Structure 1
Amino acid sequence: MSLRNQAHAVSSPTDAASAVNSPYVALQKIKGGERGSLTDAVEEALKEAIVTLALEPGMMIDKMAVCERMGVSRFPVSAALARLEHAGLVEVLPQRGTRVKPIGIDDIRQHLFIRSALEVETVRGVAAMHDEGTLAALAANLEKQRSLAGTGERLAFHVLDLAFHEILLDAVKLPRVKEIVAVSRNALDRARQLLASPERLAHTFDEHERIYNALRAGDADTAAKAMHDHLDQVVAELHRSAKVRPDVFEP
């Protein structure tokens, strides 16, 4: 159901405004299917809403509101939330219900440690290869980043950010390494979205460009340092954000 149709379906202007302003507006109604596929669809939709901060850290999740918005029964919603609990995105509070898990600084530091260890070595390998196809793909990606860096379009920029790192990982042809980085990256996505101010997007573009320039020059040490500094900036900014928004972070 479109937002316009949804607004007509409610009983009053107040109800209409409430529906449009609901955090669950990011969830789309899904068509019926097998129980497993419904659970998958609900899980993916809730995960996307959590990662993009449509459902903010610390927010209690209203299962019935999810059911009504997506047009499903309670079972796939409960099953999807159980999976998301295992993934560390939600948590069950006794006698209260399920909430979006606050962002844990210690968890973030550990995942960034993993990413730094693997991606620093990745850029060393890419620098040694000096593959023109990889460099061309990175250059094309950076041109798109440049056009978005000052606009504040955080979701579109985030897609390009992910693609930049994937180009590097694909170049070294180590699928297991890429898989491990993806797991850690998923855990970091909420934090990256929270930090995605126009200023941070511009800094991220500059950091990516320094990595690219070192790779173009075939300078493995400079590329490695640029990647390390790029990922290290996330930790520094998280600590600053935790002071401003302590409600969305765990100590």
Structure 2
Amino acid sequence: MPRPSRATRAPQLPAFAIDRTLRAPEQVYRGLREAIVSLAIAPGTALSEGDVAEACSISRTPVREAFARLSEEQLLDVFPNLGTFVSLIDPQAIAEAITIRRLLEGEAAARAAAKADPELLREMSEILARHEQAVAAGDAVQAYACDEAFHHALFVTQKLSQMWQSVSRARTHLQRVHHLRISERGALGDALEQHRLVLAGIEAGTPEAARSAMAAHIDAHGRFLSRIADRKHSYIRAE
């Protein structure tokens, strides 16, 4: 990431309450992480431990711990003598995440198609029904929750927990691309239609069709980034 200027400092932070009966570092981490991946805090925004601590009415110590975790996830960049900034969306990291998800989720979809588990088919159909309602209502938050539940169901029902952990880590940066697509294109229903094709392949018992449909769904993130690459978007790191 090029060294940013101090002028990118945000005027204010999204507010989130701290429950004094629970560990503050975890709450700060989760609150900031959600704000970052949802683009409520834009890529390139400057963050300071002092500002976050003041906004949450807590000491800097739990904020420092949360910052360290977010830095490990490559969601924050630290520049000595300059400050801490929300990382820009990195096309190389996105390409790697897409590859990981395509391989693991494609395999999970293919395995599901080979077994045709009635419990999984019922659960995925119910998730799609809720997803359709969310899209019809224009509820982006619920639509994304259904999106994640659809993918998670493939792994939890088939007891593929280690694969899901890898997928979950890869989803982190792709979440920001997803929210950017929605804000730029209003593409709220795209994932729903793509999920329907994945489920159709599973229901038909055709592993390669399910694998291909899943790959096409995940590759949509890369196609979107390629389309806007020439615009030099302020959220995206220059390659």
With normalisation by structure 2, the TM-score equals 0.88
> Which one is further off, 58-67 or 159-168?
58-67
Question: 1:249 corresponds to which letter in structure 2?
Answer: I
Task: Please give the alpha-carbon distance, in whole angstroms, between the structure 1 residues aligned to 2:122 and 2:191.
Answer: 19
Show the counterpart of 2:173: 187
Aligned-pair distance for 1:245? 5.8
Is residue 58–residue 248 contact of structure 1 (8 Å, CA) maintained in 2?
yes
Give the alignment's Cα RMSD to 1 decimal: 1.9
- Taking only the aligned residue pairs, the percentage that are identical comes to 29
The reply on whether 1:39 has 2:25 as its aligned counterpart is yes
Is residue 128–residue 196 contact of structure 2 (8 Å, CA) maintained in 1?
yes
Task: Please give the alpha-carbon distance, in whole angstroms, between the structure 2 residues aligned to 1:242 and 1:23.
Answer: 29
The equivalent position to 1:215 in structure 2, one of 184, 202, 205, is 202
Residues 31/142 of structure 1: CA separation in 2 closer, same or farther (3 Å cut): closer
Question: 1:146 corresponds to which letter in structure 2?
Answer: E
Show the counterpart of 2:213: 226
Higher helix proportion (structure 1 or 2)? 1
Asked which structure has the greater CA Rg, the reply is 1
The equivalent position to 1:30 in structure 2, one of 8, 18, 23, is 18
Residues 31/170 of structure 1: CA separation in 2 closer, same or farther (3 Å cut): closer
Residues 31/137 of structure 1: CA separation in 2 closer, same or farther (3 Å cut): closer
SS at match of 1:200: coil
Show structure 2 runs of 5+ residues with no match.
1-9
SS at match of 2:188: helix
Aligned-pair distance for 1:226? 0.5
The reply on whether 1:113 has 2:113 as its aligned counterpart is no
Aligned-pair distance for 1:159? 0.7
Q: How does 1:93-132 map to 2 (within 5 A)?
A: 93-132=79-118
Is residue 135–residue 189 contact of structure 2 (8 Å, CA) maintained in 1?
yes
Show the counterpart of 1:13: none
With normalisation by structure 1, the TM-score equals 0.84
> Which one is further off, 53-62 or 63-72?
63-72
Residues 190/221 of structure 1: CA separation in 2 closer, same or farther (3 Å cut): same
> Which one is further off, 160-169 or 93-102?
93-102
Is residue 131–residue 146 contact of structure 2 (8 Å, CA) maintained in 1?
yes
Show the counterpart of 1:15: none
